[in-house]
Structure 1
């Protein structure tokens, strides 16, 4: 009787040890020789280029897209062009139609210009920034504004955003549009407390608007600048400096190469 119990216990001990050994060996193999995941890849949207292998980018908007604050004037959009060419071997042209100081109504007016409409119609990718000059009051009243009570005209901005996207789609129905969201340059200024909430709400309204259109992507930048103080801002404490634009470019480049199915060293398909 006793010998039978001992044999059972011994058998269980051996089985437990073998199970542990199998698990250990399997774990080591997963670390040293990881297997390809069976998880499905995120669906990629392939770009349909207009006529040749060169990716044609057209950028629109305000001083952020013009690169104000960057001593070389490269800005985020110039860095994206360089990144596509150098990191992904994708031949790229860039036509920058942005105008410093532009507000949403200014861009809407520009989108009625025949030359601008033709250029946008030829674009493989459209990138824009607009809204920063609409969101906050002018510099002359900025310091005297109580931002805990301030409410921007989000309804008008949403209407303008829809008009902008509709006008772009009139001349270019298919090419992806990357709308770069806003950051808050004033979050570290105690006198302007409350501005972060305003910018976050503004970005949220833009994202809701973009959902009504195909292949329109809002690229967030709010988190890049939050709690960074003046490290990422130009001396005017409004526009990015070179470091700020570099972060914006990195974020946009990641979004673009994911959505456009750009393979490293392979170009856009």
Structure 2
């Protein structure tokens, strides 16, 4: 019996786009797609839906549009949340009110919960594989940044709980290796960082 045709939708922000890498070099969706193809012995159609600066709210808006993404497919990765926290931390640096970060965290969780529920309903057939990439901390020297990235990652596990969902732990892979894995801008992953994200995704297992 032959496998169905697989479609992989890589959705999210600059991490999915590959900002910070040399132009035209592969990004984590390319590496991840190749790894799955090798594992299942089938070709996969890869589609990227990403924008620099995209927040969880932006991803939700894309999915709410009609028609939204052409075909969700049954393999999905999402990178979102980093820009929500960056936006909130910029506001926090001006006011020093922790409530700003707490509100951003709650909004992130509400959006991610909606996104997961929506994707599970829309994904083709029942055998969808959704993988979220948690946040690494590009500002290890800032104690409050570390704390809030950890809080976001903990919340992500709770608000996206579903049998089709796994969270790839990029935080621990990047911790202490930022100088080797981040690009010249100190924020986005370089080529090596992109391969590490793909490795974190592969570690979550392939269940199709």
**Is contact 1:158-1:205 (8 Å) kept?**
yes
Q: 1:254 aligns with which of 182, 203, 208?
A: 203
Matches within 5 A, 1:193-208: 193-208=143-158
2:43 is the alignment partner of 1:91:
yes
Counterpart CA distance in 1 for 2:57 and 2:18 is: 20
Q: Secondary structure at the match of 2:189?
A: coil
Give 1:112's aligned residue: 64
Distance 1:148 1:113 in 2: 33
Alignment of 1:1-269 (within 5 A): 52-71=3-22, 72-86=24-38, 89-120=41-72, 123-137=73-87, 151-153=101-103, 154-172=105-123, 174=126, 175-187=128-140, 189=141, 192-211=142-161, 213-257=162-206, 259-260=207-208
- Cα distance in 1 for partners of 2:108, 2:93 equals 23
Q: Tell which deviates more after alignment, 53-62 or 200-209.
A: 53-62
Higher Cα Rg, which structure? 1
Shift of 1:57: 0.6
Tell me how many residue pairs correspond in the alignment: 203
Pairwise CA distance, 1:82? 2.3
User: Residues 169-208 of structure 1, C-alpha deviation per residue, up to 9 Å, x if partnerless?
Assistant: 3312731211111110111x3xx22211211110000101
1:194/1:148 CA distance change after superposition, 3 Å: farther
Q: Is the 8 A contact 1:132 1:182 kept in 2?
A: yes
Q: Give the CA RMSD over aligned residues.
A: 2.7
Q: 1-side partners of 2:30 and 2:39: how far apart?
A: 14
